Amino acid sequence: MADLRSWVRWLAPIAVLVVVGLVFRDQLPFLGEAFAVLGHAAPLHVAASVLCAVLAIVSMAAVMRILLAAKDVRANMGNCTTITLASNAWSTTIPGGPALSAWLTYRVHRSWGASTGLCGWFFVISGALSTVWMVVIGIAAAIFLGANLSMWALAGSFAVAIAAIAGLFWAVYNPAVLERWTRYLPARVRERVLPVITQLGDIRMTTRGFIAAAVFSLFNQLIDVATLYFSISAITGTLPGFTAGPDQTTIQGVTLAFIMTKLAGAAQITPGGIGTVEPIATASLVATGLTLVDATAATLIYRIVSFALVTAIGWVVYLFAYAGKGFMLGRSAADPS
């Protein structure tokens, strides 16, 4: 019954949007015009958008591969890309998706020989790096593009992310201190915590490796911006530059729309942010120079490519690579523990 309520809460906003769209369809002619414009989208620009969406996933997979190598887990790019796609599908389409996505990733990493400590290391560092770059882009948007963002909130997020990275690195290099602190824990808890501390102490990441992970994490964000960039040019037929022509936006406008889109989708009120992301993206593009019809069409391409297509591929990958093998329920045959 609880699962049913979760699905109802998850899908209800989408149902409301569909009903509103049907009721007010005669008052929203721009939607029909936007769908008509989609039929004339430039194929090469759409292909470039798809390529960027794929490269964004590959960049995330590269971060995973580098961070796991800190404890000699030599996963190849194919395996890392596979789990990145599958976990993304879970994260964006299922109630409680982020938690289930993390669980799937954890189980797969364990099957590769990663310790619990190394898995925790990956989740903390990869998440913190992603947050750092999003905040950096957000601060740049606020300073240089006039985005109406709370600098205090951005600074707070940045501080928390940096503190998480610094704290985990400290833990990695000071396991003896942590072991002494565990004497204040109940015996049963201490027995479970001590092995994880030992596992953290075995992790060694070189400066070069950390920089590489940070760079690929930045690439993930920038390539996602490029996905939106080519989605817009597919509709307008012109690559946005630093100055806007009639009914055109700019690189600055694309960046601002990207930031606002990410902020709108962060809460994941609906699957993949459907119904919350699209109006924000469209409004941001209109505010930076596009017509309402072109902005709507560009947003549709971006969402079809970066959400619908990538998620669909992720589910196909999950079904072929992980479904029925005990990763989500029970225990996979490859789990070393």
Q: What is the mean pLDDT of residues 227-241?
A: 93
User: Exposure of 56 by Cβ count < 10 A (0-12 exposed, 13-18 middle, 19+ buried)?
Assistant: buried
Asked if residue 3 is part of any domain, the answer here is no
Is the predicted pLDDT of residue 336 greater than 70, yes or no?
no
CA gyration radius, the chain: 22
Asked if residue 243 is part of any domain, the answer here is yes
Range of the domain at 258: 40-321
pLDDT digits (tens, 9 = 90+) for 25-59: 444 454 556 656 777 889 999 999 999 999 999 99
Rounded Cα distance between 129 and 136, Å, is 11
Tokens of 297: 């069409």
pLDDT digits (tens, 9 = 90+) for 109-154: 999 999 999 999 999 999 999 999 988 988 887 787 766 777 888 8
**pLDDT given for residue 23 in this prediction:** 45
Asked if residue 21 is part of any domain, the answer here is no
Q: Are 102 and 181 in contact (CB under 8 A)?
A: no
Buried/exposed 160-180: b ≥16 CB within 10 Å, e otherwise:
ebeebbeebeebbeebeebee
What's phi and psi for 67, nearest 5 deg?
-70, -35
Asked if residue 331 is part of any domain, the answer here is no
Tally of CB atoms within 10 A around 55: 17
Asked if residue 72 is part of any domain, the answer here is yes
Asked if residue 12 is part of any domain, the answer here is no
Counted domains in the chain: 1
Asked if residue 5 is part of any domain, the answer here is no
Asked if residue 162 is part of any domain, the answer here is yes
Is the predicted pLDDT of residue 24 greater than 50, yes or no?
no
